[in-house]
């Protein structure tokens, strides 16, 4: 096993001008190592360049510059080996409407040169929950079923690396849970997983490490825990007993908001004031506390802070 499943150096992609569309620098020099055995989340706003990067890994988009190694094989030097090491579930549905799930999986296995005796079509159908629909035309499958079939297609050649581009977009909650359970199992069996999602709670729960892309550049790369740990902000939410003062004299930097439900929220930086001192200040202002809870920062807070759009100056 190589130490890094993926090694990307100075990766650039410029889409050519088409019609009245100017050229687009979708990737502007990405350096990224993805450790083997990890579940790695590639996050970023719409149009950041995530799918472009993934489609380059998949061999679906031709890079403009830079190098990509997949499982130790340089894409340009060893195209066949690097392709064999990776399976990609694309964001766009690209199914032939006249294939059945079983047929689509068989054709895909054929494309990858998997001998009939080594095909795992039935296991994959089971894994993606399409055994019942194995003989139905793809065009008659629901959107969620089609996405699962795309996952199945990514698995036919037993790749070491599985890449999922928004696997749960439009998939219902039960299937989502099933999908993540399957992904986790594949990871426990040794498969490296790379995924994108706009559901940041899912990313927080699933991913060991996260890379954030914004406007074609990698702006953060850390463990999930460290990214969240960078957020210093915490919120104390108080339900007052009886009439609460509307103004609470507080040290600088604490934001006090009153919710529609009558709760008072105090947002503060953990490095400048302790929760104990804040509660003392609130009590001293005459507020009696009936109930209290705290809101810890999460991946969504870290993501929003990192990708915040600053007005052009």
Ligand X SMILES: Nc1ncnc2c1ncn2[C@@H]1O[C@H](COP(=O)(O)OP(=O)(O)OP(=O)(O)O)[C@@H](O)[C@H]1O
Structure tokens belonging to residue 149: 């079939």
Q: Does 195 bind ligand X (CB under 6 A)?
A: no
> Which positions from 58 through 97 interact with ligand X, judged by CB under 6 A?
91
Sign of the Cα pseudo-torsion (280, 248, 298, 232, in order): negative
Angstrom distances, CA of residue 211 to CA of 15, 40, 43, 238: 23, 8, 6, 35
Q: Does 91 bind Mg ion (CB under 5 A)?
A: yes
| CA–CA gap between residue 42 and residue 198 (Å, rounded) | 10
| CA–CA gap between residue 161 and residue 217 (Å, rounded) | 23
Please give the biggest Cα pair distance in the chain.
Answer: 77
Judged by CB, which is closer to Mg ion: 91, or 192? 91
Nearest distance in Å: CB 8, Mg ion: 17
Q: Does 48 bind ligand X (CB under 6 A)?
A: yes
| CA–CA gap between residue 313 and residue 306 (Å, rounded) | 18
Nearest distance in Å: CB 46, Mg ion: 8
Q: Does 251 bind ligand X (CB under 6 A)?
A: no
Judged by CB, which is closer to ligand X: 50, or 146? 50
Q: Does 24 bind ligand X (CB under 6 A)?
A: yes
Residue 44 binds what, of ligand X, Mg ion, none (CB under 5 to 8 Å, by partner type)? ligand X
DSSP 47: T
Residues in the chain: 313
Residue 46 binds what, of ligand X, Mg ion, none (CB under 5 to 8 Å, by partner type)? ligand X
Pick one of 34, 43, 51, 213: the residue that binds Mg ion (CB under 5 A): 51
Residues that bind ligand X (CB under 6 A): 15, 24, 26, 44, 46-52, 91
């Amino acid at each position: 096993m190589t130490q890094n499943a993926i090694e990307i150096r100075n990766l650039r992609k410029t889409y050519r001008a088409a019609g009245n569309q100017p050229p687009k620098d979708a990737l502007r020099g990405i350096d990224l190592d993805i450790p083997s055995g990890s579940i790695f989340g590639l996050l970023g706003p719409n149009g950041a360049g995530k799918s472009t990067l993934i489609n380059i890994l998949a061999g679906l988009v031709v890079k403009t510059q830079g190098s990509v190694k997949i499982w130790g094989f340089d894409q340009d030097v060893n195209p066949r080996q690097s392709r064999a090491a990776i399976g990609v579930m694309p964001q766009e549905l690209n199914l032939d409407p006249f294939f059945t799930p079983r047929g689509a999986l068989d054709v895909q296995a054929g494309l990858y040169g998997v001998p009939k005796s080594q095909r795992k079509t039935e296991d994959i159908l089971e894994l993606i929950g399409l055994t019942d629909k194995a003989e139905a035309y793809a065009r008659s499958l629901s959107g969620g079923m089609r996405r699962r079939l795309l996952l199945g297609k990514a698995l036919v050649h037993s790749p070491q690396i599985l890449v999922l581009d928004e696997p749960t977009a439009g998939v219902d909650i039960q299937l989502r849970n099933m999908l993540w359970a399957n992904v986790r199992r594949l990871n426990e069996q040794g498969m490296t997983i790379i995924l994108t999602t706009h559901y940041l709670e899912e990313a927080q729960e699933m991913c060991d490490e996260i890379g954030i892309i914004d406007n074609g550049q990698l702006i953060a790369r850390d463990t999930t825990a460290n990214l969240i740990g960078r957020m210093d902000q915490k919120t104390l939410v108080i339900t007052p007993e009886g009439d609460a003062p509307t103004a609470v004299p507080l040290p600088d930097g604490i934001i006090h908001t009153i919710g529609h439900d009558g709760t008072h929220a105090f947002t503060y930086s953990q490095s400048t004031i302790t929760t104990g001192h804040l509660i003392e200040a609130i009590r001293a202002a005459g507020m009696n506390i009936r109930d209290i809870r705290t809101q810890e920062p999460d991946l969504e807070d870290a993501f929003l802070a990192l990708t915040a759009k600053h007005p052009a100056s």
